[in-house]
Amino acid sequence: MILCWLLFVPFIGGLLCWQLESRHAPSQAPRWIALLTMLLVVGLALWLWLTGDYSLAGGVVGDAPNWAHEIRLSWIDRFGISFHLALDGLSLIMIMLTGFLGVLAVVCSWQEITNRIGFFHLNLLWIIGGVVGVFLAVDLFLFFFFWEMMLVPMYFLIALWGHSGSKGNTRIGAAIKFFIYTQASGLLMLVSILGLVFAHYSQTGTFTFDYMVLRETPLTGTIAYVLMLGFFIAFAVKLPVVPLHGWLPDAHAQAPTAGSVDLAGILLKTAAYGMLRFAIPLFPEASAQFAPVAMALGLFGIYYGALLAFSQTDVKRLIACSSISHMGFVLIGIYSGTLLALQGVIVQMVAHAFSAAGLFIISGQIYERIHTRDMRQMGGLFGRMGALPGFALVFVMASLGMPGTGNFIGEFLILFGAFDTVPWVVVAASGGLVMAAIYSLVLMHRVYWGTPKSEASLGGLDPREYSMMLLLLVLTLWLGLFPNTVLDISHTAMTEVTDWFAVAPLPTS
């Protein structure tokens, strides 16, 4: 039952915000409602964490996994579709992250968004609701349902509250691009899901969309490979993997701060989650076969993203492109298939969510003060903005993987874990760390050092901004110093994924 609450609280909260606005416009009430809703989600997730046991021994492949919580209601009997939610360590980490970033998204738009507050928070909360649904659903139809559903509010967020950017890039254009990329690739996944379901149907004569049942479906090589590709492309667009990344810089650049935080912090992670939860366990052999290609794409993404980041003049685009680079590491980690690397993927995702959120919020705060995101018009901001540049320095250092931050742990574990199976990929990927250092320092240099445009102070951080930054900073460092907090939760779930990979003959040589 608690899973239902976790899922429905954001939806209900969103509707409340909207209704409140139309009753007593204009007021601050929707903000408080939204904040309370998000705190409630975080609270529920923390309660689940504190009371649940996520360190159960991993089952043998084919056993029922150890869901900590599960709920299953009949939904569409005609096709054996059920409303099936389940929670294990992996989902829990993702949901805590979602809730936490949801709080940040509400808080960071406190002054940025001034019109149509209620409708804004409706969209914001519905995104969160959709993402929570994605992390909980274990029925493929339900998963797809939430996967597509969360796009609509994100579309509105970018289209209605975004910034119309430079060079004729409109926010509506960016929003439509985002939507078409993700929706079209989503349909490919739907085709794959249906292909899998009909393959199962032709063997057993029953319709089912249940993840637990479908992953037992024996498939021949080619069919499995094609179906796996359908899933992979859908996830690759969201992650994003390089040839499919076209939407990301635009969407990030035009989105309001809260939208960027959600995009980078959570939406990108749904893709990695989907690979870990669905693409690999459903098609272990095909995934193992595909792993070299995926890792090559990841490797390419690391360098390409870094190069792209280096050439940007827009702060938010730079951070967005650096995400492409970071997600390359995640992709390598996922498809290397060792426990250590998969654990690293989890840490990397959480750490990247923190650091990217921090950097996006900082760009939002700079934008509020000097009304530009163009780095050529910045320079010399250090000392003119109170503590803000200091925080920026920390998050930039985190982003380049400085020891002591969570990002270091993540990248280190991924590279260390993957070294056994794919040493040369790791060697090549390590070079990406150098590139990360370069673009991060360039960011730091262009924005905060150099000749100031003027000496006037731009105003320091108010308590709201200060506490957001401080919280993110503490969490980043905590993750860097005590990564076991996260690793313990995800251990079982990751062991299972490793087991799935172990069944398949790994093409290592």
Distance of CA 455 to the CA centre of its chain: 38
- Nearer of residues 139 and 496 to other proteins, judged by Cβ: 139
* Phi and psi torsions of 137, nearest 5°: -70, 135
- Nearer of residues 35 and 187 to other proteins, judged by Cβ: 187
Q: Shortest CA distance to 69 belongs to which of 102, 43, 91? A: 91
- Nearer of residues 140 and 351 to other proteins, judged by Cβ: 140
Chain residues in the site for other proteins (CB under 8 A) = 22, 75-78, 116, 144-146, 148-149, 151-152, 155-156, 159-160, 172, 175-176, 179-180, 183-184, 187-188, 190-191, 194-195, 198
Angle at 218 between CA 287 and CA 141, to 5 degrees: 75
DSSP lists the bridge partners of residue 70 as 86
Shortest separation between residue 103's beta carbon and other proteins, angstroms: 25
Shortest separation between residue 161's beta carbon and other proteins, angstroms: 10
Shortest separation between residue 175's beta carbon and other proteins, angstroms: 7
Shortest separation between residue 22's beta carbon and other proteins, angstroms: 7
Shortest separation between residue 149's beta carbon and other proteins, angstroms: 5
CA distances from 413 to 66, 121, 245, 345, 419 (A): 25, 37, 25, 8, 10
Could you give the CA distance from residue 264 to residue 32 in angstroms, rounded to a whole number? 24
Shortest separation between residue 164's beta carbon and other proteins, angstroms: 12
Could you give the CA distance from residue 159 to residue 154 in angstroms, rounded to a whole number? 8
Q: CB within 8 A of 35, min separation 6: which ones?
A: 103, 106, 107
- Nearer of residues 53 and 77 to other proteins, judged by Cβ: 77
* Phi and psi torsions of 86, nearest 5°: -150, 155
* Phi and psi torsions of 235, nearest 5°: -75, -35
- Nearer of residues 144 and 448 to other proteins, judged by Cβ: 144
Shortest separation between residue 292's beta carbon and other proteins, angstroms: 27
Shortest separation between residue 472's beta carbon and other proteins, angstroms: 32
Shortest separation between residue 201's beta carbon and other proteins, angstroms: 8
Q: Shortest CA distance to 212 belongs to which of 70, 346, 382? A: 70
Could you give the CA distance from residue 20 to residue 117 in angstroms, rounded to a whole number? 10
Could you give the CA distance from residue 504 to residue 498 in angstroms, rounded to a whole number? 10
- Nearer of residues 247 and 304 to other proteins, judged by Cβ: 247
* Phi and psi torsions of 71, nearest 5°: -145, 140
Residue reference for tokens 């250590």:
340
- Nearer of residues 126 and 329 to other proteins, judged by Cβ: 126
Distance of CA 249 to the CA centre of its chain: 15
DSSP lists the bridge partners of residue 114 as none
Q: Shortest CA distance to 288 belongs to which of 400, 422, 148? A: 422
- Nearer of residues 230 and 410 to other proteins, judged by Cβ: 230
Are 129 and 14 spatial neighbours (Cβ–Cβ below 8 Å)?
A: yes
DSSP-derived pairing of the beta strands 81-87 and 69-76: antiparallel
Q: Which helix (H) or strand (E) holds 326?
A: helix 315-336
- Nearer of residues 184 and 503 to other proteins, judged by Cβ: 184
Shortest separation between residue 261's beta carbon and other proteins, angstroms: 22
- Nearer of residues 141 and 439 to other proteins, judged by Cβ: 141
Q: Which residues of 50-65 are buried (b: 16+ CB within 10 A; e: fewer)?
A: eebebeeebeeeeeeb
- Nearer of residues 107 and 131 to other proteins, judged by Cβ: 131
Are 319 and 305 spatial neighbours (Cβ–Cβ below 8 Å)?
A: no
- Nearer of residues 171 and 491 to other proteins, judged by Cβ: 171
Shortest separation between residue 76's beta carbon and other proteins, angstroms: 5
End-to-end CA, the chain: 48
Q: CB within 8 A of 371, min separation 6: which ones?
A: none
Shortest separation between residue 354's beta carbon and other proteins, angstroms: 30
Could you give the CA distance from residue 203 to residue 209 in angstroms, rounded to a whole number? 14
